[in-house]
Amino acid sequence: MVARTFQNFNNRTLHIMTDKKENKEWENREIGALWVNAKPGGDKYLTGHINKEKVIVFKNKFKEENEKAPDFRVYKQKELNSNETSAVPQKEEEEDVDLI
């Protein structure tokens, strides 16, 4: 058994005991990782990588109009030029991206 420590979205620390074999299986299945970010106005979005591709994830602001619409939209993250200051693409800054 292996003790693993995680921190959830509420910044609570979780201690979980896992079997090494199970842990290795999860490592083999992992395709990426995401981090929660917040814009100055408090809106949240995710950034990270999936299959070595940089991505940015926003809440789908049109979800209420169509219950079959996805909850989140994943985009390839565009590279910043040296004169750009925000990691959030301009188009998405207008969207409501609160994840919680």
Residues 13 and 44 in one domain: no
Share of the chain above pLDDT 90, in %: 38
Asked which of 3-12, 14-23, 86-95 is least confident by mean pLDDT, the reply is 86-95
Q: Which amino acid is at 82?
A: S
The residue with tokens 């996805």 is: 70
Residues 84 and 47 in one domain: yes
At 45-69, the pLDDT tens digits run 999 999 999 999 999 988 888 989 9
Residues 15 and 38 in one domain: no
Residues 39 and 26 in one domain: no
Q: How many CB atoms are closer than 10 A to CB 37? A: 17
In contact, 46 and 53? CB cutoff 8 Å: no
CA 100 to CA 56: how far, in whole Å? 16
User: Is 25 in a helix, a strand, or coil?
Assistant: helix
